[in-house]
Amino acid sequence: MQQPVVRVGKWLVTPSVNQLSHSDRLVTLEPRLIDLLVFFARHPDEVLSRDELIDNVWTRNIVTNHVVTQSISELRKSLKDGDEDSFEYIITVPKRGYKLVAPVIWCADETPPTAIDLPELVDSTPPVENVTAAPAAAIIPAAPVTAAGARKRVATTLVWALFIISLVSCVMLVALSSMTSRPPQVKMMLMLNPRDIDIRLLNGNSCNNRSLQYPYAVGIGDLIATSLNTYSTFLVHDKTNYNVDEPGPSGKTLTIEFVNQRHYRSQQCFMSVKLIDNGDATVMLDKRYFITSDNQLSILKDLLNSLLTALAQPLPAAMQKMLDAYLPQQGPALARFYTAHQLLLKGDADSLSQASDILAEIMKQWPDYAWAYAEKALIDTLRYSQQPGEDGQDSGLQNEVNQATEMPQIKGSAIYYQIKTIDYLEHGKINDAYAMIKLGIGQQMSWLNYVLLGKVYEMKGDNRQAADAYLTAFNLRPGANTLNWIENSVFQTSIQQVAPYLMRFNVK
């Protein structure tokens, strides 16, 4: 049944088309944001906790506080419409939750309206009895209408007038909400979120060895985004694969760029890293690194420490434990690993095959690097799910998976649950796959985990929850690579049918 139209403050909300409108403005939101606003509208002036929102809007989907906070922030930004001085629709009640303070008027309801009690119409004509014709001159004038009858007629007229006016008003509001005679106006003013960070990889000047350093920069961006999203209060969007130059709401931007700089008598290529506070354009971090095959490990550690210091974010013990398992002991191993990891991020069949071969070489040369075993098991499990081989290959893959997942550094980690999720999906064990990815998201807030969560929901037949997971994955790492993972990893997905909102991002 079509959801009712509701007016929230100055906005007319039409849930059936996911739109807000007022005057000549028309804004289209994600379905989940519309559901969130409608739930607030059903509980005006009530303080709603995060748990209540998750129970009723996300229906206990696997979400984190980051997702709820970000959704509230995006909804506030849309309602403000770029005007910083406009009315605050949703306020935060410290340690309790959120409250909608704007006036709410419903134009329709799910239940049919109750009948209106109208005054009974009274016929004031006197009863006709045996009346004999009288001479014209003897006709008696009609008795005047009594005061009580007049008052009843006035009340009846007013009730009908108010009913008709209300009915016409609702019809006009619904008609105006569906009119698109004027194209929507886009305002460039954005409300910055100070604890949101964008990571961008700039083209910069041409460097001779840029092609060798590029996978290293992509890997750094992926590691920083996953680490801060999991172990800090910052929300990081890894846009190293998002080739769209547009302003965003993030309060800070971390840029990675390769630049040529004269060093004594020769030109050398440096990796320049800058952290900019977009609120006042101040530079929070500015470093340049000359990268070789031997110093990539030390550069990565220095960059992470410098970044955490600039953000006044202490290094959590859990993050240090993850880094100890993730990073190799030798710098050259990291250089080769990031070459394979970039191919994994691409996600197409040829790239995955190349990545598997590179990781096999790493395992031979550095057999103590446990993460290489896990990454290869993840890649090969994914390849097998897309193109199943012979029984012998299945047995060999299972041995490879068992070897990787039994390593002490890997068991119980995020990549462990990713491998298990794909393996269970491949064998049709949907409930087991759901349990694994739920644990994986608890270990790590990453775009890959949410892609796999979407695949699990698709197998469960819940496309609405799958769309939520895919939108979260794309928000964490927007770009063509993530879209390719959504469309082709594990099994093919129709974005048009499952998550049509992503069709607007033409990033290929």
pLDDT digits (tens, 9 = 90+) for 91-129: 888 888 889 888 888 885 444 333 334 344 344 444 444
At residue 196, what are phi and psi to the nearest 5 degrees? -100, 140
The letter for the amino acid at 49 is S
**CB-CB neighbours of 346 under 10 Å:** 18
pLDDT confidence of residue 125: 43
Lowest mean pLDDT among 87-91, 262-266, 297-301, 427-431: 262-266
Highest-pLDDT range among 257-266, 288-297, 417-426:
417-426
pLDDT confidence of residue 202: 86
- Please state the pTM of the whole predicted model: 0.66
Q: Where are the domains of the chain?
A: 1-110+147-183, 197-325, 331-504
Residue-wise pLDDT tens digits, 216-261: 899 999 999 999 999 998 999 999 998 777 778 899 999 998 887 7
Distance between CA atoms of residues 101 and 82, nearest Å: 19
Residue 105 forms beta bridges with which residues?
7
pLDDT confidence of residue 67: 79
> How are beta strands 250-263 and 193-202 bridged, if at all?
parallel
Q: For residue 293, is pLDDT > 50?
A: yes
> In 3D, which of 387, 222, 469 has the Cα closest to residue 495?
469
Mean pLDDT of 364-385: 92
270: which 2 tokens? Answer: 């440096």
**CB-CB neighbours of 323 under 10 Å:** 16
CATH number for the segment(s) 1-110+147-183: 1.10.10.10
Average pLDDT, rounded, for the chain = 82
**What is the Cα gyration radius of the chain?**
32
> In 3D, which of 296, 308, 309 has the Cα closest to residue 337?
296
Mean pLDDT of 428-444: 94
Q: Which tops the pLDDT comparison, 471 or 188?
A: 471
Give the architecture-level CATH label for domain 331-504.
Alpha Horseshoe (1.25)
Residue 100 forms beta bridges with which residues?
90
HSE-up of residue 154 (Cα within 13 Å, Cβ side) = 7
CATH number for the segment(s) 197-325: 3.40.50.11830
Domains 1-110+147-183 and 197-325 fall in the same CATH topology: no
At 263 the three-state DSSP class reads strand
pLDDT confidence of residue 239: 93
pLDDT confidence of residue 144: 52
Lowest mean pLDDT among 31-35, 121-125, 162-166, 426-430: 121-125
Q: Which tops the pLDDT comparison, 340 or 137?
A: 340
At residue 491, what are phi and psi to the nearest 5 degrees? -155, 165
| Helix 370-386 × helix 317-326 angle, to 10° | 80
Lowest mean pLDDT among 17-21, 193-197, 433-437: 17-21
Residues 6+ apart with CB under 8 A from 34: 13, 15, 18
Distance between CA atoms of residues 269 and 207, nearest Å: 6
Could you identify the residue written with the tokens 């033409």? Answer: 506
Q: For residue 148, is pLDDT > 70?
A: no
> In 3D, which of 186, 193, 196, 183 has the Cα closest to residue 82?
186
HSE-up of residue 314 (Cα within 13 Å, Cβ side) = 3
